[in-house]
Structure 1
Amino acid sequence: MTEQPTPRTTPRTLPSTTERTLPGTSSRTSPRTGPWAAARRAAERVDAATPEGRDRAVDALRAAAVLGVVLGHWLVTALVADGRTLRTASPLQHLPWLAPLSWAFQTLAVFFLVGGHVATRGHASARARGIPYRRWLGGRLARLFGPVTALLGLWTAVTAALLLSGAEYATVRTLVKLALSPLWFLLVFAALTAATPLLSRLHPLWPLAVVLHVDLLRFGFGAPAALGWLNLAAGWLVPYTLGAAWARGELERRRSGWTLLLGGTAATAALLLLAGYPASMVGVPGAAVSNLDPPTLAAVTFGIAQCGLALLLRERLRRAMRRPVAWAAVALVNLSVMTVFLWHQTALMATTATGLLAGSLPGLHTVPDGLDWVAARLAWLPVFVLVLALCRSAFRSWERGGGGRHGRSRVVAAHRPTDRGPTEGVRHVRRHV
């Protein structure tokens, strides 16, 4: 007899990683599948693609500064409907005890700190690589002003349409002024960027002395109020030159951060309590003096304190940014930072104008004179975020294309999977600020 062959049995295959489920769960709720898992994997790819030597704390500070400004504007800017007219108002007019909240959202000094740091390092790197100043500056200004073209184009068309439709001039003026208000910041930032080779070694005490003397002449000796506009450059030059000093390695010790934080805080408190400066660090309609328009000494010392706090938080931010999800969120904001900054007021006004179709809505068209308005405005914030996201989707290409071939720098290198491996086919995503 011949031996019968042993029957072949098919081995039992184990479920793949993406098919395994925990006891009592279905494949839909598996921790390794679904939208949250996909987002996690995307964040891990962004984390892995980020250049090793990148200081993520710088990007985190920039994102926090821009989001602080956006949130601050959304919370303190009200468009009150008075018949067919829209006029600006602020809860700080009616609820002055809320002024300390403005301290958390007036974060422009941090943006200038980061701007001075990045521009100083960028210019030094360009010089080392033999890139001429004109080409370096052209790339940076293109990234700044590229998104402005779309904003100006849209609001030119909107303004013409409103005037032709018979809208009241006061309403049109209010809307246009709010929509274009971010441009003042951009012009100052561009001027300081252009002067970086001259400012990179300027000591911050020099512009601080200018601000001190301008305020002394204005408020102490009755000099013309127009003199205060000198502070528009000198005031923001203080955090910008602090950023340059950071780039030179002069503010690495924690003692420097503590000196700026405590000194700035003490000076600000003295100016508010003893010299009569307003407590709000943002403009309040109808106020006799604004700390921001133009910047006063109190706004500058407050910014110094913020810069000190930012420097003290660097190590904690670097550790936090090692988490892929946190870093991916920061990288996303930085890749659209100018679009977010320029269009956030438009998102507010688009929501307000559309809401008028449903009548006068609390927190959107009503007078901001009570905590009920504050609660209603907080409820509107997700709507503002959604409209801003739509603006970002529509106009981000203007920011992405603003830098040209030589205006590119790396935030992350986004991986495209290929047959040769997950890290092949790398494309570099441009940073725009």
Structure 2
Amino acid sequence: MSRDRAVDALRAYAIGGVVLGHWLVTGLVSTGDGGLHQASPLTALPDLAPMTWVLQTLGLFFFTAGFGSARSLARHRGGAGGWLAGRLRRLLLPVVALLGVGAAVLLAATVVGTSDDTLAVALRLAVSPLWFLLPLVVLVAVTGPLRAAVRRWGVARCVAPAVAVVAAADVAVRLLPAGTALPPVTVLAAWSVPYLLGVAHADGRLGGRRVGGALAAGAAVALAVLLALGYPVSAVGVPGAGVSNLNPPSLLVVALAVAQVGLGLLALPALRRLLTRPLPGRAVTEVNRYAARVYLWHQPVLVAVTALTARGGLALPGLHTVPDDPGWVLARCCWLPLFAVVLVTVVRVGRPRRGVRVGAARRRQPGGGGLSDRSAECVPAVPQVYDHRRSGRPDLQEVIAVRDSDPPSRGRADGQTR
């Protein structure tokens, strides 16, 4: 079973949306003593809130995670325990690497006299993206039961209890005193909705444009109703706002996730045609190959670039200034290419390379192997198995699978590895 390159494209868009969204809404203002404190342009520019519907792509994030996990589990020939252990290992190893390098960098920054404000901002932004670990680990662990439930009762009946939990949490947020913490089950319930849709799609239950159109249209109606009921417009938290759609996830975020999934399903045929071209196909492959590193390192890159340039004593527009007018947004857009170049450098430097033995000859795995190849499976992903009939560059696991299961094609696989 080869990977679905169109779903790869949706995952690449989801990763890009998260990165771009964070870089655009995270202002780091230089203080008089050389420190940095966090601010958001959404506070002073509420008209930008609808943009968060495009850039807050966590729904697609979890949809592709469910799709990838279900396909991987269906293809796995060993026990479910071995599959889960491998899946979690590929998920957690990049996180351990981030924490290790981050601790060393924070220690060095402390030694050279970096201000406490800057250190606090750096730590908060570096750790905050890790919130996804709790719901993702739990959902990956129960992929098998979720897949069985979708097959037995259908995706609608599986999703309904999760939506009910989120609705109850929305009522509680408005009735309980401000600042009351809700149990983590709310986060798990909200993101299980797109995850279940991904599991159903992997099982062939969301095929056809009619299903995608129904999901998108139904979710659009739900979004309109929720806005009329007074839900905040922004799909992310706004500093100073009494209620956030993201903490905890609200019905509006769930409806937005379903709308994104519906539109994504509608776009799949066009994406498959687009990915037959070399440049888009190569771009999608590269983003997916380094998806985990991109997700984990994009915030530290933002802090590092801002902090290092602040040491020169100049308050650069869009980088160190207060995000309170459209000019800041324009200036921040001019900094995005620099952030991107630094991020690409970080995720590619030090990638492990290991050779593998194919027959009597030693060959390198495409993309360098190791963690860099498999990390894209984790946040969120499907296993890195390339379609050798399209790319001409088979993954070793695919060659082994072809040899084991399809003897007539053995000659084709052997010929491509020589």
Match of 1:19 in 2: none
Q: List runs of 5+ in structure 1 lacking aligned partners.
A: 1-50, 428-433
Distance 1:160 1:426, change over 3 A: same
Deviation at 1:65, TM superposition (A): 0.6
Check if 1:268 corresponds to 2:223. yes
Of residues 297, 307, 313, the one that matches 1:343 is 297
1:282 aligns with one of 236, 257, 277 = 236
Structure 2 unaligned residues grouped into runs of 5+: 151-157, 354-367, 378-382, 394-411
Seen in structure 2, the aligned counterparts of structure 1 residues 205 and 401 have a Cα distance that, compared at 3 Å, is same
Alignment match, 2:363: none
The reply to whether residue 237 of structure 1 matches residue 192 of structure 2 is yes
Is 1:250 matched up with 2:210? no
CA distance, structure 1, for counterparts of residue 303 and residue 236 of structure 2 = 19
Matched, 1:306 2:260: yes
CA contact (8 A) 1:144 1:402 kept: no
Q: Distance in 2 between matches of 1:54 and 1:115?
A: 13
CA contact (8 A) 2:232 2:243 kept: yes
Contact 1:142–1:403 (CA<8 Å) still a contact in 2? no
Determine the C-alpha separation between the residues in 1 that align with 2:3 and 2:173: 44
Matched, 1:402 2:371: yes
| Counterpart in the other structure of 2:359 | none
Q: TM-score, normalised by structure 1?
A: 0.79
Identity %: 46
Name the residue aligned to 1:104: 54
For residues 349-368 of structure 1, the aligned pairs below 5 Å read: 349-358=303-312, 359-368=314-323
- Which residue identity does 1:188 align to in structure 2? P
1:6 paired residue number: none
Count of residue correspondences: 367
> Partner residue of 1:73?
22
What is aligned with 1:136?
Answer: 83
Preserved contact between residue 75 and residue 377 of structure 1 (Cα < 8 Å): yes
Q: Hey, what's the Cα distance between the residues in 1 that align with 2:218 and 2:243?
A: 24
> Does 2:334 match 1:334?
no
> Does 1:211 pair with 2:166?
yes
Match of 1:38 in 2: none
Question: Could you tell me how far apart the structure 1 residues matched to 2:181 and 2:100 are?
Answer: 31
CA spacing shift, 1:233–1:137, aligned 2, 3 Å? same
Which residue matches 1:63? 12
What TM-score comes out, normalization by structure 2 length? Answer: 0.82
Deviation at 1:168, TM superposition (A): 3.3
**Hey, what's the Cα distance between the residues in 2 that align with 1:348 and 1:247?**
35
Find the residue that maps to 2:386 and give its secondary structure: strand
Asked whether the equivalents of residues 290 and 373 of structure 2 are also in contact (C-alpha less than 8 Å), the reply is no
Counterparts in 2 of 1:215-230, with a 5 A limit? 215-220=170-175, 225-227=180-182, 229-230=184-185
Please give the alpha-carbon distance, in whole angstroms, between the structure 1 residues aligned to 2:372 and 2:37.
37
Code of the residue aligned with 1:119 in structure 2: it is: S
- In 2, Cα distance between the equivalents of 1:59 and 1:294? 28
Identify the structure with the greater helix proportion: 2
How large is the Cα RMSD of the aligned pairs? 2.6
Task: Say yes or no: does 1:426 pair with 2:417.
Answer: yes
- Distance change (3 Å), C-alpha of 1:221 and 1:379: closer
3-state DSSP of counterpart to 2:9 = helix
Cα distance change, pair 409–380 in 1 and its aligned pair in 2 (3 A)? closer
Give 1:424 shift.
5.1
Kindly indicate whether the alpha-carbon contact (under 8 Å) linking 2:234 and 2:245 is maintained by their aligned counterparts in 1: yes
Alignment partners' CA distance in 2, 1:341 and 1:335: 12
